[in-house]
Amino acid sequence: MTSAAPVIPVEDFFRSPVATGGSISPDGTKIAYLAPEGGRLNVWIRGVDADPADAVCVTHDHHRDVHGYHWTDDPRWLLYTQDGDGDENWHLHRVDLNDPDAPAVDLTPFPGARVLEFWLPGGLPGTVVAELNQRRLDQFDVHRIDIATGRTTMMAQNPGHIGGWLCGRNGELFATVIPATGGHEIHAWDTATGTSRPIAAYDGADLPMGLTPTTVTPDGSGIWIGSNRDSDLIRLVRLDAVTGDETVVDSHPAYELDTRAGVHPMYPSPLILSERTGEVLAVRYLGERQVIHVLDPHFADVYERLSALNDGDLAFVSSDESERRWVVSFTHDTEPGVTYYYDHDTGESRELFRPYPHLDPEALAKKRPVAFAARDGLRVHAYLTLPVGVEPVALPLLLFVHGGPWFRDGYGYESRIQLLANRGYAVLQVNMRGSSGYGKAFTRAALGEFAGRMHDDLVDAVDWAVKAGYADPDRVGICGGSYGGYSALVGVTFTPDVFAAAVDICGISNLANFMRTLPEFARIQIGNNWYTYVGNPDIPEQEADMLARSPITRVDQVSTPLMVIQGSNDIRVVKEESDLMVEAVRARGVEVEYIVKDDEGHRFQNTENLIDAYQVMERFLARHLGGRQTQR
């Protein structure tokens, strides 16, 4: 057995990447990417063949990282989004590439408003079409914004029942509607009359996080949708905009479309689209790793060449309008985000950057897919990450639970998982029942099972790891964020004898209070997921059941040391959820570490906050589970 990997400082896992998020301009002459300026990620631009040292920073936000940007059809303008300290009130900003030192212009300068989604329709040059709740916080209207002048014109006013919008390449509008009884509906929108017509309806219990993707076809006559109608698995269909009939475009016999982009923009879309025509080039599915089905003959050759660049999974893809020049990145567990330039005409390829060149891939841990049978026989999938150079026997184990819960863990680098493995922990990420990606029967198996069989799956995962010899049953911890934070709190209140330590990151302690304090824009989904899967707090019998499944009502069972991390500006799981839990556990005399960051929301973003939180977590877990820690 080789020796254990050296202790890597916490700072090395959470410092900003030197470069990330690369893409090529529509005309193929420039490359953009995110890199630090003033301690925060900003957008930088350079010529395709220019020296990296000649890159120019074109955004100058020194308060909060910029995480996304978009080319426009005019080479002068670039767009990016930014919120305020995690409040999720996203604004759309314009940058003048001819004057990169000029301040960015806020194209949506409306206090308290939020851009939900926006499009750059090819048939409407110089225009961005945006969903915006400027008029009413609980209703998103559609606005057409002239990028050069900032002039805004309303295209469609929400009559009150529309949850979201879709926009085609020529400005065709469709609406998504969630009835009070739940479910998903797609409507055609008549701009002349300001009315909608239902096209198709879907069962919300089958698709608790909505339909992904929902992309209007280039001719505006249909919508590409991820649908599991008449199927256990989500597949790609074309929905006819007139008849509502579905035609299967592509499917996989064992895997679902990779719909994670519908939850978080850090994941690529399940559709790889042509920059030139808008047609589908390829479709992504997710098993233990990604599987790509190529539909376009030209892209088949391109994809073969791109795949040879790296043994990871093809992640973000961009091309110029001729589809000759490409910039792509790869998902990998130990070499994350390596980004390449490729010229299909010449065959030239070169590495553009590695986001984290200071991390030695040999010192990082591989992520292994595993599976086990839950106590009721349901097959559950997970990922196991073991420390490098350590015999994988009787290790301290950390159960790291994903959020959602209608999400899933997958292959790829995660800084927090690598940190924990580097400290000597076996890390197990369980896709318990209700997780996406395993079919609607698996999703429906979570109905009414919060703090029930969903948690049983986690405990059964611990039992599997112990019986397999990986884990020491006396040194098991549980941690996670959002729903994962709720799971950590359920662990210490429902099964306190299983866990020797717990870390709750922005987790729910009171299910009823959580649902009552959700922001207006998030309430749109309640009928499909929380009401359907957990209950309605306005119905007394259901509220009583929700409280019985809430950690705050079982504080008298807590004996496990607890750490809680919370953002003050969290609008999804409000700070009160953590405050009340911390106060109640401390009143019992149980150890609680409580970290609150005033400039963060539901997902921590600022590097100094991440470093501070994980340094405290490192010490907390070392005390109670015996892992390694940085010597100070």
474 in active site? no
CA distance 305 to 297: 13
Active-site position among 143, 184, 602, 624: 602
Q: Is the torsion defined by CA of 399, 402, 407, 411 positive or negative? A: negative
307 catalytic, yes or no? no
Contacts of 488 (CB under 8 A, 6+ apart): 401, 478, 479, 480, 502, 503, 504, 507
Residues 6+ apart with CB under 8 A from 327: 22, 23, 24, 31, 318, 319, 339, 340, 341, 342, 352
Can you give the three-state secondary structure of 324-378, one letter per residue? CEEEEEEECCCCCCCEEEEECCCCCEEEEECCCCCCCHHHCCCEEEEEEECCCCC
Q: Which residues are CB-neighbours of 564 under 8 A, at least 6 positions away?
A: 503, 504, 505, 507, 578, 581, 582, 592, 593, 594, 595
Candidate list 296, 320, 333, 570, residue with the active-site label: 570
Instruction: Identify any residues that bridge with 245 across adjacent strands, giving them in sequence order.
Output: none
**From the CB of residue 558, how many other CB atoms can be counted at a distance below 10 Å?**
21
Cβ distance 246 to 235 under 8 Å?
A: no
38 Ramachandran zone, left/alpha/beta (phi>0; psi -120 to 50):
left
Q: Is residue 67 packed enough to be buried (19+ CB in 10 Å), middle (13-18) or exposed (0-12)?
A: middle
Separation of alpha carbons 524 and 509, rounded Å: 22
Of 16, 269, 482, 509, catalytic: 482
Those residues whose C-beta lies under 8 Å from the C-beta of residue 253, and which sit 6 or more positions away, are none
Cis amide prior to 355 (ω within 30 degrees): no
Task: Show the CA angle centred on residue 215, arms to residues 211 and 220, nearest 5°.
Answer: 130
The DSSP secondary-structure symbol of 157 reads -
Q: Is 570 a catalytic residue?
A: yes
Residues marked as catalytic: 482, 570, 602
